[in-house]
């Protein structure tokens, strides 16, 4: 069984779009950077902690025929100056973030972790996003829609902000919140290893 350790509606939509069957069990891990931690390590650590927490909580539901797989993910936006941008605290914070991204290229990193009885596999995806220069009026109107308030970096590439993004370099779905090709490859690999382990266990 596949469990998504995230409350993100965008991650749910992407997994369903790719044809995966799964349940959702959000985790409550504090999203705070450690001193000296770089953004990629930060995203990967949070993804691992989220997946570990849900796996430990759900481990008793596992059966040999239906192994438990928990998927954790965390997405961060890195401004052109190197600042890690999470979800905005309020409208003023959202405006500050959008001004920091306006007229420049920034990076988006998603850490991905898959936890099973075989252990944990952790990886990350990096995408570069170029945003047009935004006026204060455009930023204010966008914030009034409410769209930026639950998104890292205060924008959603799949929403109204799409009109401001002329190009990206890398995985589009990573910017939405889940790099599907990476996740699919990781799931295929871990399921193959679990099938081998199960076959060895039942061999007479």
Structure confidence by residue, pLDDT tens digits, 135-154: 999 999 999 999 999 899 99
Domain boundaries, the chain: 2-202
pLDDT beyond 70 at 203? no
pLDDT beyond 80 at 197? no
Fold of 2-202: Maf protein (3.90.950)
pLDDT, mean of residues 112-124: 95
Q: What is the mean pLDDT of the chain?
A: 92
pLDDT tens digits along 43-85: 999 999 999 999 999 888 877 778 899 999 999 999 999 999 9
Catalytic residue among 52, 57, 74, 192: 74
Q: Please state the φ and ψ torsions of residue 128, each to the nearest 5 degrees.
A: -100, 135
pLDDT, mean of residues 35-49: 94
Question: pLDDT grade, residue 202 (50/70/90)?
Answer: low
**Structure token digits, residue 63:** 């059966």
CA–CA distance, 90 with 194 (Å, rounded to integer): 45
Residue 150 known to be catalytic? no
State the Cα torsion 152-173-72-38 to the nearest 10°: -50
- CA 158, 165, 75: angle at the middle one, nearest 5? 55
pLDDT beyond 70 at 22? yes
pLDDT tens digits along 171-194: 999 999 999 999 999 999 998 888
pLDDT beyond 90 at 32? no
**Structure token digits, residue 36:** 């000296």
What contacts 38, CB < 8 A, 6 or more positions away? Answer: none
């Amino acid at each position: 069984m596949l469990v998504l350790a995230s409350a993100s509606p965008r991650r749910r939509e992407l997994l369903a779009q790719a044809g995966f069957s799964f349940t959702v069990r959000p985790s409550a891990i504090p999203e705070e950077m450690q001193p000296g931690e770089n953004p990629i390590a930060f995203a990967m650590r949070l993804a691992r902690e989220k997946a570990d927490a849900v796996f430990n909580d759900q481990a008793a539901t596992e059966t040999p025929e239906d192994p438990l797989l928990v998927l954790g993910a965390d997405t961060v936006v890195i401004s052109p100056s190197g600042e890690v941008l999470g979800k905005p605290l309020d409208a003023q914070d959202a405006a500050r973030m959008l001004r920091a991204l306006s007229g420049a290229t920034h990076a988006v990193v998603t850490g991905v972790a898959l936890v099973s009885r075989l252990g944990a596999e952790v990886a990350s995806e990096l995408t570069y996003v170029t945003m047009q220069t935004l006026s204060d009026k455009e930023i204010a109107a966008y914030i009034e829609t409410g769209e930026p308030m639950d998104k890292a970096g205060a924008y959603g590439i799949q929403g109204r902000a799409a009109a401001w993004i002329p190009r990206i370099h890398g995985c589009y779905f990573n910017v939405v919140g889940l790099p599907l090709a990476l996740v699919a490859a990781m799931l295929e690999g871990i399921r193959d290893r679990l099938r081998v382990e199960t076959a060895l266990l039942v061999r007479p």
